[in-house]
A and B are shown apart, each in its own frame.
Chain A
């Protein structure tokens, strides 16, 4: 049948684009001939704003880069500044960071699961996923006072200690959660409609994934065993033995399976961390003083007025000498990189974010070309893109 060529504009305001992504598709009947992704609708200039704020003022903004998993960006920036200033984080604070990051990974994956299935037309999983996510959000709210933009980490540790019984509530959640995942699997994994929509759709081959710089669960679903938690250890991930789930197929279904396995693995990791968390007074949560050892008055760390700079004195004295650093953190979407360059003043000279969604959006047109129009949303959903993270 001869059909007319049609140009369709999807977005920027479209319920399934998880933000404001615009896709311009050239259609030949039901098939996509060409598709172009246009981004930039959520560009807030995060990197420019860093130039006019000091390190402490910039820290709360960092959570907004990826609002579904704020801890990871916070951690990335904190590790960068700590690396530049030579601050060592206490063990107890590192364990708290690990637990909160893994909880955040689960909550982010849960929201992904719900919205992905909503994109495919299944409504009920969203309610179940949000029910479990609400538990995590409440746990994190008890700890930080916020539901999404936590602002909990600070340079040299975390802001405050856990409230009474907090670890117990985390333990309860981790005990009940694997059974909930089993429920999801019963509901979704062998559903014929779901299989039809995801199996063999949007296949990313191993070479293609590496070529496009895809990271995270998307890369692991293509059979590459790469996880920054294992391969470039940060925090206390070195102390733990955990699996990195991989799948070989590289289609939407494999990405779904990898994320479910990751949630289970995170759950185990939290349980292990709870048993090993070192106790102690809340002073062990934060470094109060840094000293590079030279004891010269003009030094940025040992100088007269800079001895204590975290809680008591003015944060304006955190002046980092000229140097640069890149930190790698495995966020829930993939490898999140923060580059910070200091210039001796209390403001960073340059901050650059390399976000996993940016690369995942770039591969989207390649995956959609030649496929069916209805598959766009399945592919877009399975890649787990968050648009504020793409545009920064």
Chain B
């Protein structure tokens, strides 16, 4: 069964994209994300039991989150992408499905300021707790007076 049939059967509206090495990237609506991941993880044919990485992207007009999954059973990888609003980037957390999502989501929150709903402990992980701003945002400006020695 191909992905198209699978998504059609579950009445999910999903758009297909390609990356430079000809891998499929599936654009998922952010409200459907949790459902799609759950289906892909539990479905016997696909069985994507590994969340490899979670990549947050700032595209100036909006945010994107790219998920990469891997199925050890079929030896196949899968990319899902979801688009978030610029003003209020919020997406459902995948911690309930994959334990590896925990730190990856914290990192994404730390560096890009994307919020994950129902995350058990959404705190900064790489930067100090009192850091101001999210460095990987395109409009980030270093305005912390304590870092003035950096600008010499």
Contacts and interface: CB of A to CB of B under 8 A. Distances in A.
B55 A339 contact: yes
Interface size on B, as a range, is 20 to 34
Contact of A337 (B52, B72, B128): B52
B53 A352 contact: yes
B143 to A, nearest CB: 15
A329 interface: no
Interface string B125-136: 111100000011
B20 A213 contact: no
Contact of A40 (B52, B99, B126, B135): B126
A330 interface: no
B52 A350 contact: no
A352 B66 CA distance: 11
A201 B130 CA distance: 37
A20 interface: no
Interface string A99-143: 000000000000000000000000000000000000000000000
B103 interface: yes
Contacts of A210: 49-50, 72
Interface in B4-39: 19-21, 23
Contacts of B128: 40
Contacts of A335: 52
A213 B51 contact: yes
A358 B21 contact: no
A213 B55 contact: no
Nearest to A45: B135
Interface residues of A, number: 36
B75 to A, nearest CB: 5
Contact of A362 (B57, B75, B100, B111): B100
B51 to A, nearest CB: 6
Interface in A325-363: 325-328, 335, 337, 339, 341, 350, 352, 354, 358-359, 361-362
A230 to B, nearest CB: 9
B68 A337 contact: yes
A372 interface: no
B77 A232 contact: yes
A42 B12 CA distance: 42
A326 B72 contact: no
B125 to A, nearest CB: 6
Interface of A: 39-40, 43, 45, 47-48, 83-84, 210-213, 215, 224, 226, 231-232, 323-328, 335, 337, 339, 341, 350, 352, 354, 358-359, 361-362, 391-392
Query: Nearest 10 pairs between A and B by C-beta?
Result: A213-B100, A354-B53, A325-B20, A40-B126, A43-B126, A323-B20, A352-B55, A231-B75, A210-B49, A211-B99
